[in-house]
């Protein structure tokens, strides 16, 4: 059985109270998700009140995705409004997204008490909305909101809502446990009941309010669902969404399910870490498969057992998901993966070489101090090349200075001065900027540009600061994580210091040094997603087609046995 993975990090994940994604964040995450191999990427809800999502759907057309289909999210039409007149459906069409995903009401309580319309009108809202979007899309996915609660309250009506979506020609019907309180045995039975009456492929969308997001998603697949919707690392509103990172690993290793991203499963930890970094949240050390502690062994008996027969204390080989086993009481923590990376940089290097041992010690010291190399591959490569004496620095920093001033009018002015030695030349430049970090970045580029013209192509795409450690307020250590990009792709670097300006300077120097060394073919590129250049012309939004004749006759539609369904609901109440 083939399973499709549908990621909704950019919408449902963005509803996490600690997350607020910018347009740049969303585009970068979309590239990462596509690179990993997810089948669908839900970009957000395009409507006039959400300009970031509207712009996302225009910008993502300029990105050459390898596999994923982009989905725009919305709802069914409003009561008593024709689909072609409904502004939210029109916004979905205008987005130009090949896939449209809309939710509708499955629970009679929501129909009568929340949107306050009739049960019959709700069924018509579902069918006509799906049908209308089907004429303007490659695929339409219908999310049956609160389906499991609706089924438990009134199974006949809940099933009728699915049949309405099926009549509308939905490509997938996704059963949603929106409140996240359904038990696995309940969910399994209900999915099987649905499969008996609905021929359209079924999907699952679960929230984690009872801590069962992953479990219920797997039970749904076991019961016949062929699409799983979720969020990388389980971000989301309230207790979060089903964790798609864990689900992908479980589907592959525990259930033997076939899905496109399975071929990239060895990059699972990197996927998790990269997305954590972009949303600016600390990684969960206890996260299954990908956390730092997922394969950490501290007890002596455990360590002894793992060293003799690894599967005696590990359910899978950690390297299969890009993680590593850690012996908390030994010097071997995190070593094997690093050695493999070293071999890629310098083939034939012996892991017993004292230089390798010193490098591993240095890397661990840096990691303990707050450096995070999993999501900053360029910084890792620079550290290794420098330690092994494989590079000559393209420039030497003689000094830098940042001045903050405020005019009599109360306007803050930031000015940075940078002095570099490049060969036998001195480059001494001054720049102003919107804040000290921006001024410093501008002055450094200005000093390098006459000697390295490709600096003109480099952009600072992302800049994030995270406070580390247990120190308080202004005394705390900070990690600055930056993303630089050019026409070929992007790369990540990191700087750590108790001084935010110094941490920023470290990241800027390494980011631009890396670019120079890659251009000079001194360092093998660690660029990510090279094929992200804009396409020649933007994809045009299709002209709206005339509304189907049947959409004008909504009031004429009737649902068989509706009176019996309504009476059944009243009895349960």
What's 124's domain CATH number?
Answer: 3.20.20.70
What's the rounded mean pLDDT across residues 143-161?
97
**6: helix, strand or coil:** strand
Residue 328: which pLDDT band, with cuts at 50, 70 and 90? low
pLDDT for position 415? 93
Distances (CA, A) of 308 to 74, 311, 519, 551: 54, 9, 46, 69
Asked whether residue 439 is domain-assigned, the answer is no
pLDDT tens digits, one per residue of 74-97: 999 999 999 999 999 999 999 999
pLDDT for position 485? 85
**Structural domain harbouring 255:** 4-287+544-556
Asked whether residue 404 is domain-assigned, the answer is no
What's the rounded mean pLDDT across residues 236-256?
97
Supply the Cα-derived Rg of the chain in whole angstroms: 27
pLDDT for position 179? 95
pLDDT tens digits, one per residue of 39-82: 999 999 998 888 999 999 999 999 999 999 999 999 999 999 99
pLDDT tens digits, one per residue of 479-506: 999 989 887 778 889 999 989 999 999 9
Q: Per-residue pLDDT for 426 more than 80?
A: yes
pLDDT tens digits, one per residue of 282-325: 889 899 999 988 887 765 566 666 666 677 778 999 999 998 87
pLDDT tens digits, one per residue of 17-40: 999 999 999 999 999 999 999 999
Burial class (CB in 10 A: 0-12, 13-18, 19+), 406: exposed
Asked whether residue 169 is domain-assigned, the answer is yes
Say if residues 441 and 508 touch (Cβ distance below 8 Å).
yes
pLDDT for position 407? 79
pLDDT for position 40? 98
Distances (CA, A) of 101 to 167, 189, 272: 16, 25, 25
- pLDDT, mean over the chain: 86
Asked whether residue 378 is domain-assigned, the answer is no
Q: Per-residue pLDDT for 529 more than 60?
A: no
Say if residues 118 and 103 touch (Cβ distance below 8 Å).
no
Percent of the chain with pLDDT over 70: 86
Q: Per-residue pLDDT for 201 more than 60?
A: yes
Task: Give phi and psi for 420, each to the nearest 5.
Answer: -125, 155
What's the rounded mean pLDDT across residues 381-394?
89
Q: Per-residue pLDDT for 527 more than 60?
A: no
Asked whether residue 25 is domain-assigned, the answer is yes
Q: Per-residue pLDDT for 425 more than 60?
A: yes
Take residue 146 and report the two structure tokens written for it. 């609160």
Residue 337: which pLDDT band, with cuts at 50, 70 and 90? low
Q: Please give the DSSP secondary-structure letter assigned to residue 207.
A: B
What's the rounded mean pLDDT across residues 98-121?
96
What's the rounded mean pLDDT across residues 187-199?
96
pLDDT for position 301? 66
Asked whether residue 443 is domain-assigned, the answer is no
Asked whether residue 229 is domain-assigned, the answer is yes
Return the closest-CA partner of residue 44 out of 63, 65, 59.
Answer: 59
Question: Per the structure, how many domains does the chain have?
Answer: 1
Burial class (CB in 10 A: 0-12, 13-18, 19+), 12: buried
pLDDT for position 250? 98
Burial class (CB in 10 A: 0-12, 13-18, 19+), 567: exposed
Q: Per-residue pLDDT for 517 more than 70?
A: yes
CA distance 77 to 126: 8
Kindly report which listed range (185-199, 253-267, 556-570) carries the lowest average pLDDT score: 556-570
Asked whether residue 495 is domain-assigned, the answer is no
CA dihedral 413, 462, 446, 497 (to 10 degrees): 70
Task: Give phi and psi for 350, each to the nearest 5.
Answer: -90, 125
What's the rounded mean pLDDT across residues 206-225?
97
Say if residues 427 and 449 touch (Cβ distance below 8 Å).
no
């Amino acid at each position: 059985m083939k399973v499709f993975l549908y990621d909704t990090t950019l919408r449902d994940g963005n509803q996490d109270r600690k997350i607020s994604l910018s347009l740049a964040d969303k585009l970068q995450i979309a590239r990462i998700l596509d690179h990993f191999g997810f089948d669908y990427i839900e970009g957000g809800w395009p409507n006039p009140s959400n300009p970031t999502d509207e712009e996302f759907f225009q910008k993502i057309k300029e990105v050459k995705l390898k596999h994923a289909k982009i989905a725009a999210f919305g709802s069914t039409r409003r009561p008593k409004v024709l689909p072609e007149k409904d502004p939210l459906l029109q916004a979905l069409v205008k987005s130009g997204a090949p896939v449209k995903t809309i939710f509708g009401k499955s629970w009679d309580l929501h129909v009568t008490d929340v949107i306050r319309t009739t049960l019959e009108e709700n069924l018509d809202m579902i069918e006509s909305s799906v049908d209308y979007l089907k004429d303007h899309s490659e695929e339409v996915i219908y999310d049956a909101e609160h389906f499991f609660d609706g089924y438990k309250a009134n199974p006949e009506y809940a099933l009728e809502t699915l049949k309405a979506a099926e009549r509308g020609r939905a490509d997938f019907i996704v059963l949603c446990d929106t409140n996240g309180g359904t038990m696995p045995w309940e969910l399994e039975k209900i999915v099987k009941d649905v499969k008996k009456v609905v021929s359209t492929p079924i999907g699952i969308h679960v929230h984690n309010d009872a801590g069962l997001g992953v479990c219920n998603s797997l039970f749904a697949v076991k019961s016949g669902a062929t699409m799983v919707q979720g969020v990388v690392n389980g971000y989301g509103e309230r207790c979060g969404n089903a964790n798609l990172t864990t689900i992908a690993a479980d589907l592959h290793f525990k259930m033997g399910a076939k899905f496109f991203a399975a071929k990239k499963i060895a990059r699972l930890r990197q996927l998790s870490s990269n997305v954590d970094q972009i949303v600016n949240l600390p990684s969960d050390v206890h996260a299954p498969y990908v956390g730092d502690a997922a394969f950490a062994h501290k007890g002596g008996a455990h360590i002894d057992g793992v060293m003799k027969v690894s599967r005696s204390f590990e359910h899978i080989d950690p390297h299969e998901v890009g993680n590593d086993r850690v012996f908390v009481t030994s010097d071997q923590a995190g070593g094997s993966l690093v050695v493999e990376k070293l071999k890629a940089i310098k083939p034939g290097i012996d892991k017993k070489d004292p230089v390798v041992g010193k490098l591993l010690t240095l890397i661990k010291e840096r990691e303990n101090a707050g450096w995070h190399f999993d999501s900053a591959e360029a910084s890792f490569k620079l550290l290794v090349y420098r330690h092994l004496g494989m590079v000559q620095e393209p420039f030497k920093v003689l000094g830098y200075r940042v001045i903050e001033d405020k005019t009599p009018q109360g306007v803050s002015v930031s000015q940075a001065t940078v002095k570099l030695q490049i060969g036998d030349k001195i480059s001494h430049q001054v720049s102003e900027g919107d804040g000290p970090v921006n001024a410093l970045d501008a002055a450094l580029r200005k000093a390098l540009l006459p000697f390295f013209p490709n600096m003109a192509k480099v952009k600072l795409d992302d800049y994030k600061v995270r406070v580390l450690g247990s120190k308080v307020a202004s005394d705390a250590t900070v990690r600055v994580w930056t993303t630089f990009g050019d026409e070929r792709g992007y790369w990540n670097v990191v700087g750590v210091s108790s001084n935010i300006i110094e941490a920023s300077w470290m990241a800027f120097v390494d980011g631009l040094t890396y670019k120079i060394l890659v251009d000079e073919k001194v360092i093998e590129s660690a660029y990510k997603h090279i094929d992200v250049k804009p396409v020649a012309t933007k994809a045009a939004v299709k002209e709206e087609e005339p509304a189907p004749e049947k959409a004008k006759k909504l009031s004429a539609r009737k649902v068989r046995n509706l009176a019996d369904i309504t009476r059944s609901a009243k009895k349960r109440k």
